[in-house]
Structure 1
Amino acid sequence: MAEVPSTRAADGAFTWVEFVDRDQRDVLAEVRRLSAHPAMFEDSLGRGRPPRLEVLDGQLLVIAWDLDPDKATSKPGDVVILTGDSWLLTAQWDGDGPARPLRPLIEREHPSGATPLGAAYRALAAVVQSYEATVASIENELDEVETEVFDPAVDEDYQRIYRLRRRIGHVDRAASALRQGFETNADALDDLLEDEPTLHAYFRHMRSDLVALADLLSTQRMALDAVVSSHESNVSSRQNRDMRTIAAVAALLALPTVVAGIYGMNFKDMPLLHIPVGWVFVLIGTVALDVAAVLVFRRRGWLGADHGRDR
């Protein structure tokens, strides 16, 4: 744990208490020490909690998922931001990699000023920016997947398709929860930011960003559903072609089997049976039947050719 007093605020310093990958009980103990709202004493802060934004008696609580836009299969990290009149508490737990440091984000200069709410905004803005970067990455990958799935010459990567669906789900759940928090606590947040009009405009802009993200994610989900449907159709079509090919090959093998079976019966009077070179004519006839069958099957596309003439 790091406790950092800030001296940049014109109207006085605030205390920043920082946790990175610490036990949840340590976080709750510090929440009690800071005289946070009694609702915070419950076992509601920690790793794996659902994202949300709340305003409780002048204190801002944010639980958010921190995403890595560069990792397609990364597990979200957890970020907790809690503000009071003169203090800020942040707690982080990593996902698939090390937790992103919040110190450079919070300590940088910003029009919001060095207040607990201003620092909380800077940390939360970085989280929302990771959502925007992830959505942009998803959009690029979605374009590539759409190109693959609608190109008959390419066998699409089904693992990539479902991995993309998982990414969309992560961002959607993370951004939607924060947007809902902004909408539910709109009046309380306005009251909380009454003395900081500049910061109020920044929070309002963040809410607009979350709404836009939700709309874009909804569009991406529908586009991915179309891709999944096309992928399943392609899989079914390929399976049907494979079954036709297998049936055609079985028919080609059945022709000589039938001829051999007939001539293997113990009959005295059979065509070409008593001619010394009769077997040659039988063999030629069998090959001719198979060649004719091959031509018919290929014309119908049952042997991998002329797919456009499937019947």
Structure 2
Amino acid sequence: MQRQAPSGNDNAGERKPQQRQARDTSEKKPAPERAQKARKETSKQLKKSTDEAKSEAKSSNEKLEKSARDQSGEKKADKAKSERASKNDGNDSKKQSAKSDDAPSVKSNEGARKSADSGERRAPDEVKKVELNADKKQRVEKAFGRPKADERHADVDINISIGHRLPRAWHYHRVPTAVIEIVPQYRGYVYVYSDDRYVICEPDTYEVVAIIDAPSSSSSRASADDDRCSRNLRLSSDERDEIVESVEDTRRVDVSDLTIGWSVPDSIELHRFPSRVLDQSGELRACRYFVAEDDVAVVDPDEEKVVLLIDND
């Protein structure tokens, strides 16, 4: 029995499974590539998520740092503000302390000014124009009366005239009611006693608006006491030394041939003796003096003559 040789159709049948297998193999090859691509996408998403998380964390840290800085700045500002307030309180305390340490005359002046303001006050220029006849002037002098101890300002080297301003530190008083009844224009003003005169001033600026002689004065050089300057003064060596020491800063007058009884010209200014001299030598209260090159000349202001010479060497 003879075998039949395989036909071409049989070979074709064998090739078909091989071709399918090849195709299946070809279709399966892209799977690793897809997986790799998927892994890359996942990696990118993870990186993106990580970057976003880092960015959020950085932003959060920056906000926290800014908040901390702001709080620190506020604390510093509060501290600086507190220090400034404390410093200002200290300065205010110092100022208040300095005010409280001022001379009692400042407080007295405040009281005098308030009392003066209790009535209607005329303008200073109007008060300056007031002229007193002899009778009214005498009544005003009597109404003022004798000056009290705290009213006196002796040996003053200040220009006391209408329009000039006096030191604020002086002790001022309101013009008495008895004086205002005679001269209503003085209502609301204050006064001070100096160089044997009552000096009326505007209470805010202390500008002089009127000058009235003290009751016992006949001129600006007259004594405020009833006694005359004695021509028979007897001073001890200690009293003389005290006088020379007390008046050493007084401006010297250039005169020659100075003797007892020498008439003092109007060009020479006479001074009251300092309080420390009068406390020791009360008999000099009615006297005046000037300083020459070699002597302190004691003068009777009524007769304007030298009554005693004290060697100032």
Which structure has the greater CA radius of gyration? 2
Query: Do these two structures clear the TM 0.5 threshold for a shared fold by scoring above it?
Result: no
TM-score bin, normalised by smaller chain:
under 0.3
TM-score by length of 2: 0.22
TM-score by length of 1: 0.22
